[in-house]
């Protein structure tokens, strides 16, 4: 592993988000020495820095808003009239291991953690989760929802049951829904049941064509079984990392041709016949193989059932998503996995890499979401099931239930807390490369504006953001990220 909303008027746009700056007796918005123009408002700013002295810390002075866009500072322009993809959410994977860890906390600890992760008023408002359909390398053991004795099959899926998920995954999800009732959920399988595969094992092998229809029905049953628990599966991918096959944990090889055949001949028609609106999202693997999603999207019979394609970040870079968007602009793009871990422990470097390459990189390249890998793991980076032994969760939960918020938590929070589902990414220009500044901008459905700026350099950077005939001015410390919010 490696590391459109209409512009609604300037007067409303540039009032302070908090309103408190304008109250009687308050000294008012800060004035930046040497800046031209008059201060007419203040944007709220939250900062996390590499030194960890600021961790999603709201800055008391905010960022000044001026009544002119004239500036001698390095600057970008943001145009809220140019709107791009709609954001569906930010989050991580509630793997079996994550559910075990969270469900093992006492009721008070669990409630506090879920409130912090999912509440939009008291937490960071995570809005998207990925589930494993059956076991992965982060489960208690290997299992599918239709395991059979060796040498036997179950064509009618009479033995189908999501019972393995009902101990931890389902109860945790139901608790999460109390804080985030509209959360998006995506399911991804690591393997079909062993009896459907060439290997007769969950670890490696391929799906036999004679079981395509049965496997299509397997997905339908999965979605309906979760619905019976009040849990809506918004999207699925036919296979996690279909080009990765290994015999030490659940995997299944599925070529682009095989995936297209499965979608157009079985999965898509089965969903249609069952009246399901669950999205089918192709590929779900690394940036470096755009030929795979391009092949499926180029197959008209398969593409009619496909909402878009999903990517991981263990090879290649986020610009690959733009390649697919350029070829198929009417199909959606999703970012579904990357993990931090013991191979990279420097907070500042991880913060810069994650914000720059993943959160800014994927959203500027058309991704509708950003999902990290394990939501929570224990102090031993587990429980594990034969795969990564030193992956890092968004949070770490110790045996006594105490929680450590890892760098991934703060990277997520700078987006999930402020960029809400239904937001649109808007046009923002780039800073000169020599400055080490990166950015991405959004407008929420309620009209609030969000700009995330990353300073990768070793020097504080003062910059201006031009918005029509106004500007926002801010100075961002070295190796830090700021989320700037205003109305």
Residue 179 tokens, joined? 């804080």
Q: Based on the residue annotation, tell me whether 210 is a catalytic residue of this protein.
A: no
- The closest alpha carbon to 143, from 163, 127, 129, belongs to 163
Both tokens assigned to 1: 């592993």
- Token look-up 């800055």 returns 59
Is 337 an annotated catalytic residue? yes
Cα separation, 311 vs 73, whole angstroms: 37
Identified catalytic residue from 21, 35, 88, 337: 337
Q: Catalytic: which of 21, 35, 88, 241? A: 241
HSE (side-chain half, CA atoms, 13 Å) at 468? 11
CA angle 412, 418, 420 (to 5 degrees): 95
Strands annotated E in 320-383: 332-337, 340-341, 367-374, 376-378
**Three-class DSSP labels, the chain:** CCCCCCCCCHHHHCCCCCCHHHCCCCCCCCCCCCCCCCEEEEEEEEEEECCCCCCCEECCCCEEEECCCCCCCCEEEEEEEEEEEECCEEEEECCHHHHHHHHCCCHHHHHHHHHHHHCCCCCCCCCEEEEEECCCCCCCCCCCCCCCCCCCCCCCCCCCCCHHHCCCHHHHHHHHHHHCCCCEEEEEECCCCHHHECCCCCEEEEECHHHHHHHHHHHHHHHHHHHCCCCCCCEECCCCCCCCCCCCCCEEECCHHHHHHHHHHHHHHHHHHHCCCCEEEEEEEECCCCHHHHHHHCCHHHHCCEEEEEEECCCCCCHHHHHHHHHCCCCEEEEEECCEECCECCHHHHHHHHHHHHHHHHHCCCEEEEEEEECEEECCCCCCCCCCCCEECCEEECCCCCEEECHHHHHHHHHHCCCCCCCEEEEECCCCHHHCEEEEEEECCCCCEEEEEEECCCCCEEEEEEECCEEEEEEECCCEEEEEEEC
The set of residues, in sequence order, having a beta carbon less than 8 Å from that of 327 and lying 6+ positions away, is 294, 297, 298
Active site residues: 241, 337
């Amino acid at each position: 592993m490696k590391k459109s909303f209409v512009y609604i008027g300037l007067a409303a746009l540039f009032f302070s988000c908090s309103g408190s700056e304008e109250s009687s007796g308050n000294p008012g918005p800060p004035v930046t020495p040497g800046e031209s123009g008059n201060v007419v408002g203040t944007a709220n700013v939250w900062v996390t820095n590499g030194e960890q002295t600021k961790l999603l810390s709201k800055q008391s002075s905010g960022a000044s808003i001026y009544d002119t866009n004239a500036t001698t500072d390095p600057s970008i322009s943001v145009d809220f009239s140019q709107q791009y993809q709609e954001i569906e959410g930010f989050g991580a994977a509630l793997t079996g291991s994550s559910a075990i860890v969270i469900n093992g906390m006492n009721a008070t600890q669990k409630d506090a953690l879920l409130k912090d992760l999912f509440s939009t008023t008291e937490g960071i408002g995570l809005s998207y989760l990925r589930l494993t359909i059956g076991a992965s390398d982060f489960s208690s053991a290997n299992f599918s929802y239709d395991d059979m004795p060796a040498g036997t099959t179950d064509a009618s899926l009479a033995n189908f049951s999501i019972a393995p998920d009902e101990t931890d995954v389902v109860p945790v999800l139901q608790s999460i829904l109390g804080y985030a009732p509209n959360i998006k959920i995506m399911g991804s399988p690591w393997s079909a049941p062993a009896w459907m595969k060439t290997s007769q094992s969950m670890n490696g092998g391929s799906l036999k064509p004679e079981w395509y229809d049965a496997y299509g029905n397997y997905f339908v049953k999965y979605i309906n079984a979760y619905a019976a628990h009040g849990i809506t599966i918004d999207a699925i991918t036919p296979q996690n990392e279909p080009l990765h096959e290994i015999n030490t944990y659940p995997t299944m090889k599925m070529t682009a041709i095989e995936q297209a055949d499965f979608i157009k001949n079985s999965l898509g028609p089965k969903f249609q016949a069952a009246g399901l609106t669950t999205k089918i999202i192709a590929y779900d693997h690394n940036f470096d193989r755009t030929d795979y999603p391009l092949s499926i999207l180029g197959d008209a019979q398969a593409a009619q059932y496909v909402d878009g394609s999903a990517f991981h970040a263990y090879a290649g870079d986020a610009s690959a998503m733009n390649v697919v968007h350029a070829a198929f602009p009417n199909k959606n793009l999703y970012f579904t996995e990357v993990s931090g871990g013991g191979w990279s422990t420097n907070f500042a470097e991880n913060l810069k890499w994650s914000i720059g390459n993943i959160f800014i990189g994927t959203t500027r390249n058309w991704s509708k979401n950003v999902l990290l890998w394990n939501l929570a793991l224990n102090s031993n980076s587990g429980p594990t099931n034969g795969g990564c032994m030193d992956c890092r969760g968004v949070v770490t939960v110790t045996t006594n239930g105490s929680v450590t918020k890892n760098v991934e938590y703060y990277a997520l929070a700078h987006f999930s807390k402020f960029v809400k589902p239904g937001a649109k990414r808007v046009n923002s220009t780039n800073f000169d490369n020599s400055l080490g500044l990166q950015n991405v901008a959004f407008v929420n459905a309620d009209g609030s504006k969000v700009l995330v700026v990353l300073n990768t350099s070793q020097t504080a950077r003062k910059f201006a953001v031009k918005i029509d005939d106004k500007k926002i001015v801010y100075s961002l410390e070295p190796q830090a990220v700021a989320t700037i919010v205003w109305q």
